[in-house]
Amino acid sequence: AAVLQQRAIGGDGAWPLQLELLLLDDDGGRRTIAIESDAERTTIEALLGEAAPAAIVVNPRDVAYGQFVPDAQSRAFLLQHLPLEQDPLVRASAVAALFEAVREAEQDPLPFAELLLALLANERDPDTHGVLLDMLATCLGRYLGDDRAAPLAAKRTELLLLQLAEQAGSGRELGTFRHLARYGGDARVLDLCRAVATGGAVPEGLDPGKQDRFLAAAALLAAAVADGEFDALRQRSARDDGGKEL
């Protein structure tokens, strides 16, 4: 096994690196080793004469600077096992590495998007939940064609609406609503947007502000189903600049 280094902008040359490598085994074992090198190819001496690990996560504590793209074997293992990873920093570092592999066209975005959905189903941290949603939006909107993206987009909408309905007080409500308003689009999402835009009943824990009401109205307008929501916004915003623009 070896660590390969190349310049992101192309050409020859390498940088001095101090890296941690997290070695994961099929049986759940793990250990961390460190390497130092300024070569384009660095053999991992600690693995000479040993069975190869199931996966290697480079920079698992996110302390080194670089773009760390995992090998094919590591990607396959991580795609299958990351939902069970208990260490949130290792999980986040591995997800970021897989996303880099997608961006470098080394990883099919479809299984990565499926992984993101699995992680979103159990993620409780609002910031991490938002990062996962942003990655998913990029995969579905930019890297997958409509035919491949549509089933996952439907699953995303189901999951997020369920989380809004059943996980009040999670701290994820606004981020979830904003994502749905931008990317959801089905009738239930549009009903939610209508409630937000007009000051109607919304899921417990969702406390939309002025920006969110405008976002909701814009979603309705984009779907060509706006009907009086802008009038309601105009009345609510009559005394500020937003009302004047409306």
* pTM listed for this prediction: 0.88
Can you tell me the mean pLDDT for 125-148? 97
pLDDT at 50: 83
CB 225 within 8 A of CB 190: yes
% residues pLDDT > 90 (the chain): 68
Can you tell me the mean pLDDT for 44-58? 88
pLDDT at 169: 93
- Give dist(CA 218, CA 174) in Å, integer: 16
pLDDT at 245: 55
Backbone angles phi, psi at 65, to 5 degrees: -105, 125
Can you tell me the mean pLDDT for 78-105? 96
pLDDT at 125: 96
Pair type for strands 2-4 and 17-24: unpaired
CA angle in degrees (0–180, nearest 5) for 159-160-166: 85
pLDDT beyond 90 at 40: no
- Count the Cβ atoms, other than its own, within 10 Å of residue 69: 19
What's the mean pLDDT when you consider all of the chain? 90
DSSP per residue, 97-112: HHHHHHHTTSS-HHHH
Higher pLDDT, 241 or 168: 168
pLDDT at 49: 79
pLDDT at 237: 62
pLDDT at 229: 66
